[in-house]
Amino acid sequence: MGKPTINLDQLALSQPYRPKAAMGYWVGLPRVFSQNHQLPHPIFVLLGMCAENGIRVAPAATARIMIKGFVFAPSHSCIITAENSPTCSGLNPEIQTPCLREIVGKCLSLGTKSVKTTLSILSPEKITGFCWGKMGCTMSQEERAALERSKMIEKNLKEDGIQAAKDIKLLLLGAGESGKSTIVKQMKIIHESGFTAEDYKQYKPVVYSNTIQSLVAILRAMGNLSVPFGSPEREADAKLVMDVVARMEDTEPFSEELLVAMKKLWADNGVQDCFNRSNEYQLNDSAKYFLDDLDRLSQANYQPTEQDILRTRVKTTGIVEVHFTFRSLNFKLFDVGGQRSERKKWIHCFEDVTAIIFCVAMSEYDQVLHEDETTNRMHESLKLFDSICNNKWFTDTSIILFLNKKDLFEEKIKKSPLTVCFPEYNGRQDYHEASAYIQAQFEAKNKSTKKEIYCHMTCATDTTNIQFVFDAVTDVIIANNLRGCGLY
């Protein structure tokens, strides 16, 4: 009579199961169950019971069915005995089922004293699967056939795992205006062929609109904040600019008359005073960039540059998806709207996420939300990060924190105290000390002792900086994705 076949398909469901006589005696866990962390429990109990009964677990290069998402990693040896029982945090060692006891009993009755293990491809000290057999016996033809079938299954699973490790799904999350869409644009520049002719054409009216709308935001704030013009003559110029926006002509090239009015307004002392108080109202970060360059933007043959496109601001609604290849990996990057009204759409992106890049605008520590002018933007980001970092969907997902707009933060911290956002802060008004404090506030939201937050200071409009940071991030993503696929 052949050896009993044990099917852990049944064990995983904790159903009573009595093995019937059959050819082969290899044991494994179907890969389809790898995402459920409760399913490896029977294996843990099985190996523990084997150890209690003196059954040794020895390493073997002959791999069986891969157990993805569950790793034993003894410090020096893969021999597991009663004195060196396997342990793994989060598992329930009290799980007992009749079939497990029967399996161990069958092992003993067969004279089985070894349980062979499957080793990780990239980390041989880690066990990713196991099988058992009767020591010292000669395999029958049927048993050899079973072994070959097992090898073929394992080979296919390895290939599937390697392919899965090459598919990277990234989510860009964060509050509104934190720089997520700029990161997406940078990926097109760095990892694709850059912007197309159609892109340049589409962004041209956006540049015009962002420029004039920024000036209008300042003019409106002057009224709300009771900031007078440096010269009374600017009142007429302001009316001209306001009328253009009222006629919805803000996406068109600047007329000569409009250009002159905008230049005079931007040079006005009152306008500059109000601009310097931009934390008290809503103003695009790119306002100064565009308004300082009105002559170039007004040229008849003007075409946006890469930097112009990076600086444009268009509210993201829905989900933007970008695909690119880097280091032979297939990346899918999803950018979703950060405003509160857009966050309900995030749930559809949560499945099979490799890593989350969470963006925070460091420079907005003294500003309030567009959608709720009673809420500090940094406080909103901290609250949102807390909900993402500790979300059940992301228990095993790498979290990469981009503390973005470091260039703006470095300038602002010199004149606007961090105590506006964090009253308890007693450090210097210094970029390095203040940014380290902000980083610590976000890292403190992480409630898991096993999850590491990978933090980077970024300037999303600086292509060189983003290229360097993304290169470092990819190293983390690769390692964690291989580990998640049982290959590391």
Q: Is 339 a catalytic residue?
A: yes
The secondary element (H helix, E strand) that includes residue 184 is helix 180-191
Handedness of CA 102, 106, 109, 111 (dihedral sign): negative
At residue 460, the 3 state secondary structure works out as: coil
Assess contact for 126 and 120: CB atoms under 8 A.
yes
Length of the chain: 488
Sign of the Cα torsion 421, 424, 429, 435 reads negative
Catalytic status, residue 177 = yes
Does 407 show up as a binding residue in the annotation? yes
Annotated binding residue 282: no
Contact between 79 and 95 (Cβ < 8 Å): no
Residue 145, marked binder:
no
DSSP-derived 3-state class of residue 171: strand
338 assigned ligand-binding residue: yes
Q: Is 182 annotated as a binding residue?
A: yes
The one catalytic residue in 117, 118, 182, 211 is 182
Question: Does the annotation list 264 as a binding residue?
Answer: no
Q: Is 316 annotated as a binding residue?
A: yes
How far is 456 from 183, CA to CA, in rounded Å?
A: 13
Question: What's the CA angle centered on 350, arms 348 and 356, to 5 degrees?
Answer: 130
> Looking at residue 444, what DSSP letter applies?
T
For residue 337, say whether it is annotated as part of any ligand binding site: yes
φ, ψ of residue 332 to 5 degrees: the values are -125, 115
Within 8 A by CB and 6+ apart from 145, the residues are 23, 24
Residue given tokens 């079939």 in the structure block:
99
Q: Is 256 a catalytic residue?
A: no
Q: Is 122 annotated as a binding residue?
A: no
**177 labeled part of a ligand binding site:** yes
Token representation of residue 160: 């599937």
Strands 114-119 and 127-133: antiparallel
φ, ψ of residue 7 to 5 degrees: the values are: -110, 105
**30 Ramachandran zone, left/alpha/beta (phi>0; psi -120 to 50):** beta
**Angle 343-306-177 from CA coordinates, rounded to 5°:** 25
Which of 56, 220, 277, 313 is flagged as catalytic? 313
Judge whether 178 is annotated as a binding position. Answer: yes
Is 285 annotated as contributing to ligand binding? yes
315 is in an annotated binding site: yes
The answer to whether the CB of 460 falls within 8 A of the CB of 405 is yes
* 313 marked among binding-site residues: yes
| 339 annotated as ligand-binding | yes
Separation between Cα atoms, residue 97 and residue 104, nearest integer Å:
11
Question: What is the C-alpha separation between 115 and 130, in angstroms, rounded?
Answer: 7
Q: Which is the catalytic residue, given 268, 308, 335, 366? A: 335
Per annotation, catalytic residue among 177, 268, 366, 380: 177
Q: Is 405 annotated to bind ligand?
A: yes
Catalytic annotation on 220?
no
DSSP assignment of 86-140 equals: ---TT--TT---HHHHHHHHHHHHTT--EEEEEEPSS-TTSEEEEEEE-TTPPPP
Q: Does 416 carry a binding-site annotation?
A: no
5, 272, 282, 339: the active-site residue:
339
Residue type for position 98: P
User: Would you say 214 is a known binding-site residue?
Assistant: no
- Report whether 66 contacts 128 (CB < 8 A): yes
Write the DSSP assignment of 389-441 as a string of letters.
HT-GGGTTSEEEEEEE-HHHHHHHTTTS-GGGT-TT--S-S-HHHHHHHHHHH
To the query of whether residue 292 is one of the catalytic residues in this protein, the response is: no
Q: Which residues are annotated as a binding site for GTP?
A: 177-182, 285-286, 310-316, 335-339, 404-407, 460
Q: Which residues are annotated as a binding site?
A: 177-182, 285-286, 310-316, 335-339, 404-407, 460
For the annotated catalytic residues, the residue numbers are 177, 182, 313, 335, 339
Q: Which residues are annotated as a binding site for Mg(2+)?
A: 181, 316
